[in-house]
Chains A and B, each alone.
Chain A
Amino acid sequence: METTKYLKSLLTPKGKKQESAVMAQSLQSQENTKYVLETKGLGIYYGDFQAVTSVNMPIKRHKITAIIGPSGCGKSTLLRAFNRMNELSPGTRIEGEVLFEGENLYDPTVDPVEVRYRIGMVFQKPNPFPKSVYENIAWGARIHGFKGNMDELVESCLLQAALWDEVKDKLKQSGLALSGGQQQRLCIARALAVQPEVILMDEPASALDPIATLKIEELMQELKKNYTIVIVTHNMQQAARASDYTAMMMLTDRQTRSGTVIEYDDTRVIFTNPKDKRTEDYVTGRFG
């Protein structure tokens, strides 16, 4: 008895509490937390090298937040900190906190699998599984123990990703047989299958042609009604067009090669009346 309890405590992120108590508590804290995600003094290290320094920024619910900046300043690293994907590379660690609905994601009792179940990701280069279109979407749901109607779920995700009409007759075909733009939308549908609350997008359209890019941007506007979106992009026009809030990242100084957020504001402010001169230089195209 004692050993099983001890083992369970090792495996369980937090002990299972009474459901109703949890529900009540969640509703309460959702009202209290303004922000879906928030970083507090976040620093990210690869071994001894500090890639990101001291970031304090919020991510607001049901809005699109863009992270922009010149290449190599740590945008992707910062994005990946939100769903603990940095941990896949050995030797990474953080200091500070990343709060999700008020809870620190990096608390030792938190399971990264659970984090990724609630904060999804779409990558730069489309990477569908070498399985059928149907399976690509179904796999994520299945490993998380989806009990409902899988066909309906697949259809729903593909509709949300604006891909359903194009593939509804080809569900059993390999995901790799689709075009680049379709593959990326498939990856978005795949992320939606586990019904995350936040979707992180790492330069989702950089590998796509302009028409496909436009489709993705339209998609984002639709998705933000139900999800919170954080997008990293080096395409300033895209950030200006598509996002509600923008965070500007830059290297703190040339020696350390460590990046930080130098300005965060409403997108319109960043692009018309930025407070920091470096931001102004960047968005007007003077460099980067």
Chain B
Amino acid sequence: MEEQKRISLVTSLQKPSSNLRRRRRLGESIIQGLLFFSGFVSIFTTIGIVYELGKEALLFFQMPEVSILESLTNTQWQPHTGNFGVWPLVTATLMTTLIAMAIAIPLGLAVAIYLSEYATPRARNTLKPILEVLAGIPTIVYGYFALMFMTPLLRSILGRDVVEIYNTASAGLVMGILILPLITSMTEDALSAVPRSLREAAYGVGGTRLEVALQIVLPAALSGIAAAIIIGISRAIGETMIVAVAAGAGPKFTLNPFQGAETITGHIVRISGGDLSYDSIDYNSIFALGLLLFFITLTLNIISQRIVRRFREVYE
């Protein structure tokens, strides 16, 4: 009886009469608007970058002493004497990038192949955190390492008169160590995306582990690896502190990696570290260089993403 009463108590509770019409929920709309705004902020950032950098860069190119043609043909960058050739900065950037990739690509690929095809799960679990640590060390620390270890090392191996105290080689080598984990993790992703059935087929025909890894799996993952390398290059081009500390100050057009030179990023940092008055030619040049940097890295990143997308399509 009691139970019956309790049950009927609950079932007799009436819901307030509700029609099924769509209710206007103001709170929901406000929140949705706020959230959309948050999403849109990122667009503001990109627009901001392009607009602000473009605006000042335009001012730079409009200055009477500066002409785009001259920028591309002059090999000296000394704003105060009217020289605005970009080549010293660009060649320095290219040299450090090249040296860095010469280290990061072979080592990065090798580690990735080892982790993906050879390593036991236990080895993988100890090695991956170490790589993550390498990737997480701030670049200024790598800069210190380049100056205080790599440069003395190079000087003792190759001789003090061959290697200057500030040189692009040390910066490039240490940059390679910085980028190595990036290449390894992206390559490893690409290798594991190769389906297991392909490996089985190759083993089934009687391939050794090496033959399967290098002749079947690696070529199948090639575009993923290409994407990784492109991202690595993009990272190297944009890297600042290692070169700021170890590569040298003052733009110099040289192809000798054992001499000091200033990269695009190193130059920007040095100029803004000093006294900078707005609308001076130095100030505007920062924006022009920054814009150049932005477009180069953006293009590389987009190419890389396209490649990865196409690569995924093949295997899914």
Contact = CB atoms under 8 A, between A and B. Distances in A.
Are A and B direct contacts in the complex by CB distance below 8 Å? Answer: yes
Interface of A: 83, 85, 88, 90, 113-117, 120-121, 123, 125, 127-131, 139-140, 143-144, 187, 190-191, 193-194
Contacts of A115: 206
Contact of A140 (B200, B205, B208, B314): B205
A127 B203 CA distance: 12
13 contacts: A88-B200, A88-B203, A90-B120, A113-B208, A116-B203, A123-B201, A123-B204, A125-B197, A130-B220, A131-B219, A144-B206, A187-B201, A193-B205
A117 B206 contact: yes
Given A139-B215, A143-B211, A143-B215, A127 B198 contact: yes
B29 to A, nearest CB: 50
B198 A113 contact: no
Nearest to A87: B203
B98 interface: no
A186 to B, nearest CB: 11
B201 A129 contact: yes
A85 B204 contact: yes
Given A88-B203, A116-B206, A129-B216, 4 more contacts: A88-B200, A114-B206, A116-B204, A123-B204
Given A129-B216, A130-B220, A140 B198 contact: no
B202 interface: yes
Given A129-B216, A130-B220, A143-B211, A194 B198 contact: no
Interface in B157-191: none
A191 B201 CA distance: 9
Chain B: interface residue count, which band? 20 to 34
A111 B200 CA distance: 17
A43 B123 CA distance: 30
B207 interface: yes
Given A129-B216, A130-B220, A143-B215, A123 B205 contact: no
B202 A129 contact: yes
Contacts of B216: 129, 139
Nearest to B203: A88
B220 A85 contact: no
A143 B206 contact: yes
